[in-house]
Structure 1
Amino acid sequence: MSNDSLLAASSRDHRTSGIYYALLVPAMLIVLVACIPLALYPEDGKRIVDSVLAWITQRFGWLFLWTGLGSLPLMAWFAFGPLGRIKFGSADEAPEFGNLSWFAMLFCGGIGISIVNWAFVEPLYIYMSPPLGMDAKTPTAMEWAAMYPMQHWGLVPWALYLLPSLPIGYLLYVRRGKSMRFGEICTGVLPARHRGWLGRVIDIVVILSIVGGVGTSLGLSVPLVSSLIAHQLGAGDGIVLQGTVLTIWLCLIGYSVYSGLNKGIRYLSNINAVLAIAMLLLVLLVGPFTFLMNLASNSMGLLADNFFRINLWTDPLGDGSFPRNWTIFYWAWWIAYCPMMGLFVARISRGRTIRQVVVHGTAWGSLGCIVFFAIWGGYALYLEANGIAPVTATLDKEGISATVILVLSTLPMPKLVLLLFTVLCFVFLATTVDSASYTLASLATREIDGYQQPSRGHRVLWVALLGVVGVGLLSVGGLKAAQISTVIVAVPMIPVLICLALALVRWAREDFGSRISATSLSLPTSVREASQGKFPKPQEET
C-alpha cells in the first residue's frame, strides 16, 4: 500500500481511535491548576518560581549534566552498533517524506522560535557575564561568548532529542504497535505488578514535560514578537498587545494542526526553512563576512579543546550562577522537550533506519544551530566590538526584544528586515507548537498507529490548552517563570529516558536474536510472524 493510501485509510480510522480520557483529564487538570494561579497571583508566583528553580538546579545540576553527556556515547552505539541497521518499516518501504522536508520539520519542530529569540542575544549575555572566572567584556570573553551557544545548542541537545524517537519508531513501525504512549514502551522494564499505574504516571509526566517545554517557548517568544509589532506600528507594548499576538498565533497554529501532518505542518516547516535561510544569507552577505568566518572557526576549535570541561563544569567552589543559569537550564530544557521531539521525529521517520535517524538528525540539527549562532550571534558581537551599536547596554537596560530590534535596524532596508523577521518568528513558533499539539494528541489517543493521525478536534484542543499555559507564563513574566516550567518536569523525565533505552535493546534482542548482525533489518507485518521465524531476507541499506 502506498503512503498516500495509508494516510487516506488512516483518516477513515479516526472514529476507532478515541481520546484516552483517563490520561487526558488528569494531565489537563494538573496544567490548569499550575497555570491559573500564576495568572491570578503573579507576584507570589514570581517568588515561588525563583525559589523552586534555585533549589532544583543546585540539587540536580550534576544529574542533568551527566545525562546530557551520557546521551552521546549511547546514541553513537545505537547508530553504529548492530541496532543501527533496524529499519522503521518494511524492507521495501520508502521514507514517507523527502530529505529536505524531513529535515525542515525536524529542525523547525525541535528548535523553532527559541533559536530566533536567543541567536542574537545569548552571546551578548555571556560576553557580559562570562564563565570560568574570566573578566567581562574582554577579547577572551568575546571568544568564549561566541563558542558557548554552539555547545548549548549542538551535539548534546540533539542526542537527547533523538533518543526517545528510536523506541517510539520501533514500536510504531517495527512492532506495529497501536499506541504512542511512553508508559506502553516502558512496560517491558517495569515491575509486572506495578506496570499499570507506573505506566500512567510516566505518560502524565511526559505530557507535562511537553507542555512545560513548549510553554517556555511561548513565555519567551510572545514578548519578542509583540515588541517587534509595537516598534513597527509605533504603538505601546504591553499585556494587551501580547495577548493579541498570542491569540493570532494560536489561530494560525490551530489551522495548521487542523490541516494535518502532510499539509499544514509540512508546508509551514518548508516556508520556515526558506525564510530562515534567506535571513541568514542576508546577514552573512551584507555583514562582516571575514570576521564571521574567522570567529566561527575559532569557536569550533575552542569548543573542541574544552568540550568535556564545559559539559561537566558545575563551579562547586566558586558557587557561581553561570552553570545553573545556562548549561544546566538548557539541558533541563532539552530533556523536557525530548518526549515531544521523540514522538514527532518517530512519526515522520517511517522508512528510515535507526542509523539514518541518529546520524542525519544529530549532524544536520547541530549544524543548523551552529550556523545560526555563527552568523547572527557573531554579527551582534561584531556590532559591540566595533562600537557600531550599543547592543550590550541596550540588552542590560531594555532587555532582549529591544536588543534584537537594534541589531536588525543596523542592516540595509531595516523596515523590510524587521517585517521579514516578524513573519519568521510567527511561522517558527507555529511549527513548534503545532508539532507539540500533534504529539500531545497522539499521546492521549487510545489507539493509534504510525499510519494514523489523531482527530482534528483533539489536536485543536491541545492548541487551546497550550495557549492557557502561555497566558499563565506571560502573567508572571520574566525568564525565571519560563525556566521553572521546564526544570520541574525535566527531573522525572531522566529515569523515563533510561527505561526507553532499555526497552529498545530488549525488544531488538527478542525480535531479531542472532539476525541482529544482518546488513539491514525489518520485521514482517506483525511481531507474531516474527516470533515464528518468518523473517524477510536481509536488505542492503540505502
Structure 2
Amino acid sequence: MSSTKTNTNIATSTDATTNTDTTEDSLPAGQHRLGDPVVLTLSIGFIVLFVGLSLYDINGVADAIGAGFAWTAKALGAYFQLLLLLTFLVAIGLTCTPMASARIGNTFTPELSTFKWVSIIMCTLLAGGGVFFAAGEPIYHFVTTPPSFDTEAGTVDAIAPALAQSFMHWGFLAWAVLGSLTSIVLAHAHYDKGQPLQPRTLLYPLFGERIMSGMFGGVVDALCVIAVVAGTVGPIGFLATQVSFGLHELLGVVNNYTTQLIILICLGAIYVTSAVTGIDKGIQLLSRLNVFLALGIAAVIFLFGPTLFLVNAFTQGFGEYLTNFFTMSTMTAQSAPDWWMQWWTVFFFAWFIGYGPLMAIFVARISRGRTIRQMILTVAVLAPIATTIWFTLLGGSGIFYQFTGVIDLSEALSNFQFDVATLTVAQALPGGTFMALAILVLTTIFVATTGDSMSYAIAVVGAGHDRPSSLIRAFWGITMALMAAILLYMGSGQISALQQFIVLTAIPVSLVLLPSLWTGPQAAIAMARNQGLVSRDLRPIAVPPASSAPSSQPGSAPSQEQ
C-alpha cells in the first residue's frame, strides 16, 4: 500500500472550519429533535424520582445514599483507582507510537484555533470542582496530614505533601479518564464509521449492533447522563451558596434562599445561552473569557503575593507528586482510614468516572483535525500541569497565610466548609475585597462553562449526532438549574446527598469506560492504517506534508459546528 494512495483518507477540507446553523430538517434520517425517548424518559425519571423521594423523606434518601456511598467507596475504591491509573498509562504509552500521528475527523485543518481549543478543554473538564477546591484542599492536607505521608501537620515539612496530595486528586489520572482513550474510540467510531456520539458506542466493539438500537443502548446512555446530571447539579447548587455567602461577607447582601435563587437564575441564563449558541460561539467565547480572567488573577497572585514561597512550594510539591505518584495513586482503605478514602480519593475519582463518557464525547467533538498525540498530551499532561499551577497559586497562598497566622481555617475545613476557605484566602490575597469579588466571578464563569458543555453533551447523547437542537440544549440546562434550586430549597444537605450519589453512578459508568483500555489502542491503530501512517504490521509509512494532500475525501461529510 503506497503512501500516495492512502493519503486520500485525510482531508484538508477547508469547509471543516465553516460553521453553520442546522435545523431539524437537516438532521440525520430517523433522528428526532428531542432525542432518544429511552434516554429522555429514564434521565428525567431519575430527576423526578430523586426530588420526589427527597420531598417525601429527606432524611431517608440521604441515609440510603450515604450507606451506598460508604459501601461503594470501601468495596470498589481500589477498582476505580486502577481504572484511572491504567487509563493514564495506556494513553501515555500510545503517544509514543506512530499511531498517535493519526488525525481525528479525517482532516488536516483543526476546526478551532489552538488557543480556543485549549481554553475550552481547560474550562470544561475540571473547571467547576477545580476552582471550588483549589483554595481549601491544599490547606486541609496541610493541617491534616494525608495517609501517604508521615510529616507533622502544620509544619514546613507538610507543605510539599499537602500540594502533592491535591495534585494527585486533580492531576494526570483525573484528566486522562475524561478525554483520552475513550475520545479516540468515539472519534474513530463517529468520523470513520458514522456511528453516533453516544456512550453506547464505547461498547460497540464488545456487543456489536445489539448495543446500538433498542433498550440496552438507551439504558447505557441514560446511566451516563444521570451521572453527569448528578455531577453538574452539585457544583451549580454549591456555587449559589458560595456566591451568596461571599456577597454577604463582602457587600452585606442578605445570605438567604432568595439570594441563592437569583444567583441560580443568572448562572442558568449564562450557561443556557452559551449552550444554545454552540461551540463556536457561546461556549468558546465564555471559555476564552474565563482563561483571560484566570490568567489575570494568577498574575496578580504571583507578582504581588508570596512569590518566592509559591515557586518553592510548587517545585517541591510537584517533585513530591512525581516521586510518590504510584504510592498515592494506589493507596487503598487497607492502609488509610475508611473515611479519608471515602471523602477524598474515591469520591473524586468516582466523580471523574461519572463524567468520563460525556466528556469524551465533548473532547472528540472539539478535537477534529488534531492528532491523537496532541489530544492526549493536551488533556492528560498539559491541562493537569496547568491545574497544579492554579492549585499552587490559590491553595499555596492559603497555606502560606495559614502557616504565618494571617488566617486560620482549621476548624472550617474540618467541617468541609470549602466556601468559607475560598473566600477567606481570597480576602487575604493582594487586593483584598476586589480579589475576592474577582475570584467569585471566576468561579461563577467556570461553573457556567461546565454547565454549557454538559448541556450540549447531554443533548448530543440524546440526539445521537453533534447537531442537537437548541431546544433540547436549553431544556437540559434549565432542568439542571431547576433541580439545584429545588434541592437548595430543601437544604444544602440534599445537594451533598446528590454529590454522594455520584459514587454510586460510577459503578455502571466505569463498566462503559473499562473496554477503552484495549479498544482505545485498537481504534488508534485502525485510524493510523486508514490514514496510511502505518502498514498492516504497524511499521511507520513515510507521509507527504499536509499541503500535498487532496482537498477532500469522498464520503467525508463537512463539519457542522452546531
Deviations 1:35-62 (A, max 9, x none): 3323554333332222221111011111
1:64 has 2:87 as partner: no
1:104 is matched with which residue: 105, 116, 119?
119
Counterpart of 2:65, as a letter, is V
Deviates more, 1:219-228 or 1:152-161: 219-228
> Using the alignment, how far apart are the partners of 1:112 and 1:507 within structure 2?
29
1:469 is matched with which residue: 480, 483, 486?
483
Corresponding residue of 2:541: 518
Deviations 1:153-210 (A, max 9, x none): 11111111113211112223233x2521121342231166676443222212221122
Are residues 456 and 485 of structure 1, via their aligned partners in 2, closer, same or farther at CA, if it must alter by over 3 Å?
same
1:363 has 2:386 as partner: no
Give, in angstroms, the shift of residue 6 of structure 1.
Answer: 4.7
Are residues 318 and 187 of structure 1, via their aligned partners in 2, closer, same or farther at CA, if it must alter by over 3 Å?
closer
Contact 1:189-1:502 within 8 A present in 2 as well = no
Corresponding residue of 1:22: 38
> Using the alignment, how far apart are the partners of 1:411 and 1:509 within structure 2?
50
1:2 has 2:19 as partner: no
Deviates more, 1:510-519 or 1:129-138: 510-519
SS in 1 for 2:19: helix
1:88 has 2:100 as partner: no
Are residues 386 and 363 of structure 1, via their aligned partners in 2, closer, same or farther at CA, if it must alter by over 3 Å?
same
Corresponding residue of 1:166: 184
1:380 has 2:398 as partner: yes
Corresponding residue of 2:285: 267
Corresponding residue of 1:539: none
Give, in angstroms, the shift of residue 438 of structure 1.
Answer: 0.3
1:184 has 2:207 as partner: no
Counterpart of 2:508, as a letter, is P
> Using the alignment, how far apart are the partners of 1:183 and 1:284 within structure 2?
45
SS in 2 for 1:164: helix
> Using the alignment, how far apart are the partners of 2:130 and 2:290 within structure 1?
13
1:124 is matched with which residue: 131, 139, 148?
139
Contact 1:88-1:174 within 8 A present in 2 as well = no
SS in 2 for 1:8: coil
> Using the alignment, how far apart are the partners of 1:54 and 1:458 within structure 2?
35
Give, in angstroms, the shift of residue 225 of structure 1.
Answer: 1.6
Are residues 510 and 418 of structure 1, via their aligned partners in 2, closer, same or farther at CA, if it must alter by over 3 Å?
closer
SS in 2 for 1:316: coil
Deviates more, 1:265-274 or 1:166-175: 166-175
> Using the alignment, how far apart are the partners of 2:244 and 2:111 within structure 1?
37
2:442 is matched with which residue: 424, 443, 449?
424
Deviations 1:81-122 (A, max 9, x none): 34312211335x300011111000001011222122111100
1:343 has 2:361 as partner: yes
> Using the alignment, how far apart are the partners of 2:88 and 2:477 within structure 1?
33
Size of the aligned set, in residue pairs, is 522
1:455 is matched with which residue: 469, 475, 481?
469
> Using the alignment, how far apart are the partners of 1:5 and 1:139 within structure 2?
52
Counterpart of 2:113, as a letter, is G
1:391 has 2:391 as partner: no
Give, in angstroms, the shift of residue 272 of structure 1.
Answer: 0.3
Corresponding residue of 1:155: 172
> Using the alignment, how far apart are the partners of 1:9 and 1:264 within structure 2?
13
1:413 has 2:427 as partner: no
> Using the alignment, how far apart are the partners of 1:385 and 1:194 within structure 2?
55
Are residues 444 and 302 of structure 1, via their aligned partners in 2, closer, same or farther at CA, if it must alter by over 3 Å?
same
Which 5+ residue runs of structure 1 have no aligned equivalent?
Answer: 528-542
1:441 is matched with which residue: 441, 454, 459?
459
Which aligned runs of 4 or more in structure 1 are off by greater than 6 angstroms? 520-523
Contact 2:202-2:513 within 8 A present in 1 as well = no
Deviates more, 1:255-264 or 1:179-188: 179-188
Give, in angstroms, the shift of residue 304 of structure 1.
Answer: 1.9
Give, in angstroms, the shift of residue 4 of structure 1.
Answer: 6.7
> Using the alignment, how far apart are the partners of 2:435 and 2:336 within structure 1?
43
> Using the alignment, how far apart are the partners of 1:98 and 1:365 within structure 2?
17
Counterpart of 2:53, as a letter, is P
> Using the alignment, how far apart are the partners of 1:178 and 1:398 within structure 2?
44
> Using the alignment, how far apart are the partners of 1:338 and 1:398 within structure 2?
26
> Using the alignment, how far apart are the partners of 2:26 and 2:243 within structure 1?
36
Cα RMSD after superposing both structures? 2.7
- Given the two structures, how large is their TM-score scaled by the length of structure 1? 0.89
> Using the alignment, how far apart are the partners of 1:398 and 1:184 within structure 2?
38
Deviations 1:231-268 (A, max 9, x none): 23313323332222112111111111121111100100
> Using the alignment, how far apart are the partners of 2:298 and 2:87 within structure 1?
30
Counterpart of 1:463, as a letter, is G
Contact 2:123-2:290 within 8 A present in 1 as well = yes
1:35 has 2:51 as partner: yes
Give, in angstroms, the shift of residue 403 of structure 1.
Answer: 2.5
Give, in angstroms, the shift of residue 274 of structure 1.
Answer: 0.4
Corresponding residue of 2:295: 277
> Using the alignment, how far apart are the partners of 1:194 and 1:404 within structure 2?
45
Give, in angstroms, the shift of residue 353 of structure 1.
Answer: 1.2
Contact 2:402-2:408 within 8 A present in 1 as well = yes
> Using the alignment, how far apart are the partners of 2:365 and 2:240 within structure 1?
28
Contact 2:198-2:361 within 8 A present in 1 as well = no
> Using the alignment, how far apart are the partners of 2:293 and 2:184 within structure 1?
30
Deviates more, 1:110-119 or 1:24-33: 24-33
- Given the two structures, how large is their TM-score scaled by the length of structure 2? 0.86
Contact 2:16-2:109 within 8 A present in 1 as well = no
Which 5+ residue runs of structure 2 have no aligned equivalent?
Answer: 1-12, 557-562
Corresponding residue of 1:251: 269
2:311 is matched with which residue: 256, 274, 293?
293
Counterpart of 2:324, as a letter, is N
Give, in angstroms, the shift of residue 519 of structure 1.
Answer: 5.3
Counterpart of 1:46, as a letter, is A
> Using the alignment, how far apart are the partners of 1:263 and 1:193 within structure 2?
37
Contact 1:391-1:407 within 8 A present in 2 as well = no
